[in-house]
Amino acid sequence: MSAKTPAPKPQTAPKATAAPIGLVVRCHRPQGLWRAGRYWPPEPTPVLPDELSPDQLAAVQAEPLLDVQAITE
């Protein structure tokens, strides 16, 4: 007797992550901080994607005193 081989499981596509529509940047220092040519206050600051160049974005994301969160919706 031949054993039946199980049917292959359907493959699911990996979930796509939505491209961010903006960022919210907040400084951990009470007096704020200058980085990438901008002042970042301790209050959350919304940033549109076209407001920062790729180099500026990299500098802001690399700064440990800044909290950068992507907005996807």
What is the number of domains present in the chain?
1
Question: What's the domain range around 38?
Answer: 22-71
Asked if residue 42 lies in contact with residue 28, where contact means CB atoms within 8 angstroms, the answer is yes
Using CA atoms, how far apart are residues 72 and 66, in angstroms rounded to an integer? 19
Q: What is the pLDDT of residues 8-19, one digit of tens each?
A: 666 655 555 667
pLDDT tens digits, residue range 23-62? 999 999 999 999 999 999 999 999 998 999 999 999 999 9
The secondary structure of residue 31, as a DSSP letter, is: T
In-domain check, residue 2:
no
Query: For the whole model, what pTM was predicted?
Result: 0.71
| Alpha-carbon span 3 to 52, nearest angstrom | 61
Residue 12 belongs to some domain of the structure = no
CA 7 to chain CA centroid, Å, is 39
